[in-house]
Amino acid sequence: MEIAEIGDHWELIKVDKESKEDKMGDDFKVDKGMDTLTLSDELGPESEQLTNGHNNPTEVSKSSAKLKRVEDVLEWHEYFMASAFLVAKRSKDPATRVGAVIVNEANKIVGTGYNGMPIGCSDDDFPWDKNTPNELDSKYLYVCHAEMNAILNKNSADTNKCRIYSSLFPCNECAKIIIQSGIREVIYMCDKDMRKPATIASKRMFDAAKIKYWQFKPQNEKIVIDMYENIR
């Protein structure tokens, strides 16, 4: 490859090694004084360093069609609720796996949690049963709920004015902690225990503390995560 001055412009010339005949293509034309050659053909390693006659390196870039952005992205609420369900996959509770995610005003996740035994209390030694003759054999006396763990596991100074996403409506004990932590909005997915005293008490406290709560309605029934999407 060579660059030759042709009239008032420069042209990149292909040299046939056998016939020694010069071949000039319109795709390689560039005006004098330009610093960049945009080529539609693949030039190969010979084009890495080209000069324009003034000993200045000329950058060569290959033209390409402009890519369009992806349109089917998750909106914020769906993204955070899906994250809560993903976090719930860490729970070892055989009956109900719950996940919670705390989000600040800048749409940054500042805490996550799922229902499980306290640190140091073995998942194998403590009970997972619900209704037992002996109350001490029931999980309810031991399990830390997802909302509690999310607040205790926060990675920010506080959760004031944050919102929390939970796959299940918070119980009365979690409602107390949510209110005390400064969280101002509760987004939940399931409200299967709406008639239980604990849930009724939660809503009563939220109403009194002016905590906004509402049920999330997903746009997608399922969200599939393909771990190999970007490496195939």
DSSP three-state, residue 31: strand
Closest CA to 90 of 125, 130, 121, 117: 117
- Please state, in angstroms and as integers, the Cα–Cα distance from residue 27 to each residue in 10, 12, 23, 30, 41, following that order: 12, 9, 12, 9, 8
- Cα–Cα distance between 73 and 148 in angstroms, integer? 30
Q: Please give the Cα distance from 28 to 38 (Å, whole number).
A: 8
The one-character DSSP state at 84 is H
Q: Is 147 an active-site residue? A: yes
- State the catalytic residue, choosing from 147, 173, 185, 229: 147
The residues that are catalytic are: 147
